[in-house]
Amino acid sequence: MHYEIRRGIVVKTENAAKPETQRSAFLKSLLADLPPVSASVDYGCGKLRYCEAILERTDTLAIVDSEIQLSRMQTLKGMKSTIRDAVRRSNRIRVYNDAEFDRLDGDFDRAFCINVLSAIPVLARRRQVMEVIRSHLRPNGTCLYVVQYRNSDFNRMRAMHNARSWRDGFLIYSLRGFSFYGLISPDCLISTAKKAGFAICHVRRNEGSVYVWASRR
């Protein structure tokens, strides 16, 4: 998704997507321990870092991201492909861009929003994303939100000559354009989730990241 936060400054969230080689061992273990469900959604799937781990605990999986992220050629599992092409052969995965998902008439047992909100430079948009996810959950459905609130790499990047502060994070300019990296405090994440209509079920911190399970009321 692209956000023009000032004239001439367009943040491209796809720039912040990390490869599957940078998966969190802690999160992988957390996902492996989840009880199986019928339908799940990975909102902001990025480069499919956790797609396989989530798919092991659900019958069907919807993956959601911007159309640019889904359709652009990139390196996935060591090969050049688009996300749409990479999952085309699976009869258990459905792909939606954010606009398609907004209009989708379907409910899910479980949702994941992993390191997505921290790439969004517009605070109001973060809440909107949460509201959309909530609207697609079944009455007892839950969503796992993961954000970083402390990161030594971010501190190093913030001091770079091509970085500038913005809201609760900073912008980085490169040949690919602007990227945003936010550090969202646990209290801020919990507060935004409540404002979006969620009830907080469980909060856990690990190595600078916070994991918040929230349920649809």
**DSSP annotation string for 40-105:** EEEET-TTTTTHHHHHTTEEEEEEEE-HHHHHS-EEETTEEE-HHHHTTT-SSEEEEEHHHHHH--
Within 10 Å of residue 48's Cβ, how many Cβ atoms?
Answer: 21
Higher pLDDT, 43 or 161: 43
* 42 in any annotated domain: yes
pLDDT for 154-180, tens place per residue?
778 877 889 999 999 999 999 889 999
Give CA torsion, residues 96, 12, 18, 103, to 10 deg.
-20
* 161 in any annotated domain: no
* 203 in any annotated domain: yes
Domain count, the chain: 1
Mean pLDDT of 6-31: 90
The answer on pLDDT for 40 being more than 90 is yes
* 158 in any annotated domain: no
Nearest to 67 by CA among 101, 92, 41, 20: 101
- The CATH number linked to 89 is 3.40.50.150
* 157 in any annotated domain: no
Q: Give the range of the structural domain holding residue 92, as residue numbers without chain letter.
A: 13-152+187-216
* 165 in any annotated domain: no
Residue 60 is predicted with a pLDDT of: 98
* 174 in any annotated domain: no
* 5 in any annotated domain: no
pLDDT for 95-125, tens place per residue?
999 999 999 988 999 999 999 999 999 999 9
Residue with tokens 């209290």: 187
Q: Band of the pLDDT at 79, cuts 50, 70, 90?
A: confident
DSSP states of 130-199 as a string? HHHHHHTEEEEEEEEEEEES--HHHHHHHTSTTEEEETTEEEEEETTEEEEEE---HHHHHHHHHHTTEE
* Orientation angle between helical segments 123-135 and 186-195, nearest 10 degrees: 50
Q: Band of the pLDDT at 138, cuts 50, 70, 90?
A: very high
